[in-house]
Amino acid sequence: MYVSTRGATGQFSAAEAIKAGMASDGGLFIPQSVVKMNIQQLQALVESSYQERALAILSQYLPDYTKDEVKDCINKAYNTIKFDCDEIAPLVSIDDDKYVLELWHGPTSAFKDMALQLLPHLLSHALAKTGETDEIVILVATSGDTGKAALEGFKDVDQTRIIVFYPQDGVSQIQRLQMITQEGENVAVSAVEGNFDDAQTGVKKIFNDDCYKQELAQRGFRLSSANSINWGRLLPQIVYYFSAYADLVKQQRVNLGQEVNFVVPTGNFGNILAGYYAKMMGLPIKKLICASNQNNVLTEFFKTGCYDRRRDFHKTISPSMDILISSNLERLLYHISGNNASLLSQWMNRLSSEGFYEIDDEYRAVIKELFWADWADDQATIQTIRKVYNEHNYLIDPHTAVAWQVGNTYQSQTGDQAPLVILSTASPFKFNDSVLEAICSTQDASIKTEFDMLDKIARITGLKVPQGLNGLKTATHRHSQSCAKDEMSQLVKVILFT
Ligand X SMILES: *Cc1c(COP(=O)(O)O)cnc(C)c1O
Among 31, 167, 202, 265, interactor with ligand X by CB under 6 A: 265
One-letter amino acid at 135 equals E
Among 107, 153, 202, 270, interactor with ligand X by CB under 6 A: 270
If the CB atoms of residues 18 and 110 are measured against ligand X, the closer one turns out to be 110
Task: Give Cβ neighbours of residue 258 (< 8 Å, ≥ 6 apart).
Answer: 284, 419
Phi-psi region of 259 (alpha: psi -120 to 50; beta: other; left: phi over 0): beta
Tell me: does residue 152 bind ligand X (CB under 6 A).
no
If the CB atoms of residues 145 and 378 are measured against ligand X, the closer one turns out to be 145
Measured on CA atoms in the order 248, 251, 253, 257, is the torsion positive or negative? positive
Query: Considering the complex, what minimum distance in angstroms separates the CB of residue 407 from ligand X?
Result: 15
Residues 5, 339: Cα–Cα separation, whole Å: 8
Among 108, 295, 320, 337, interactor with ligand X by CB under 6 A: 320
One-letter amino acid at 148 equals K
**Catalytic site residue from 19, 98, 112, 456:** 112
Query: Considering the complex, what minimum distance in angstroms separates the CB of residue 424 from ligand X?
Result: 9
If the CB atoms of residues 269 and 372 are measured against ligand X, the closer one turns out to be 269
Query: Considering the complex, what minimum distance in angstroms separates the CB of residue 29 from ligand X?
Result: 17
Stretch that binds ligand X, among 154-162, 247-255, 261-269, 477-485 (CB under 6 A): 261-269
Neighbours of 104 (CB within 10 A): 25
Among 267, 275, 419, 468, interactor with ligand X by CB under 6 A: 267
Site string for ligand X, 228-247 (x = CB under 6 A): x-------------------
One-letter amino acid at 4 equals S
The footprint of ligand X on this chain (CB under 6 A) covers a number of residues equal to 17
Buried b / exposed e over 257-292, threshold 16 CB at 10 Å, is eeebbbbbbbbbbbbbbbbbbbbbbbbbbbbbbbbb
Query: Considering the complex, what minimum distance in angstroms separates the CB of residue 220 from ligand X?
Result: 32
Q: According to CB under 6 A, which residues from 190 to 229 bind ligand X?
A: 228
Query: Considering the complex, what minimum distance in angstroms separates the CB of residue 355 from ligand X?
Result: 20
Tell me: does residue 269 bind ligand X (CB under 6 A).
yes
If the CB atoms of residues 65 and 231 are measured against ligand X, the closer one turns out to be 231
Residues 15, 130: Cα–Cα separation, whole Å: 7
If the CB atoms of residues 265 and 466 are measured against ligand X, the closer one turns out to be 265
If the CB atoms of residues 145 and 450 are measured against ligand X, the closer one turns out to be 145
Among 266, 295, 316, 434, interactor with ligand X by CB under 6 A: 266
Tell me: does residue 290 bind ligand X (CB under 6 A).
no
Query: Considering the complex, what minimum distance in angstroms separates the CB of residue 253 from ligand X?
Result: 25
Among 4, 160, 230, 271, interactor with ligand X by CB under 6 A: 271
Residues 415, 395: Cα–Cα separation, whole Å: 26
Stretch that binds ligand X, among 124-132, 259-267, 468-476, 484-492 (CB under 6 A): 259-267
Among 112, 331, 335, 485, interactor with ligand X by CB under 6 A: 112
Stretch that binds ligand X, among 199-207, 268-276, 340-348, 454-462 (CB under 6 A): 268-276
Stretch that binds ligand X, among 119-127, 200-208, 269-277, 486-494 (CB under 6 A): 269-277
Among 98, 161, 399, 456, interactor with ligand X by CB under 6 A: 399
Tell me: does residue 294 bind ligand X (CB under 6 A).
no
Query: Considering the complex, what minimum distance in angstroms separates the CB of residue 57 from ligand X?
Result: 18
If the CB atoms of residues 123 and 321 are measured against ligand X, the closer one turns out to be 321
If the CB atoms of residues 160 and 228 are measured against ligand X, the closer one turns out to be 228
Spatial strand order of the sheet with 285-292 comes to 91-95, 98-102, 420-424, 260-265, 285-292, 371-375
Based on the residue annotation, tell me whether 112 is a catalytic residue of this protein. yes
Tell me: does residue 145 bind ligand X (CB under 6 A).
yes
**Per-residue CA distances from 280 to 35, 181, 236 (Å):** 8, 41, 16
Catalytic residues: 112
Q: Which residues bind ligand X (CB under 6 A)?
A: 110-112, 145, 228, 265-271, 320-321, 399, 425-426
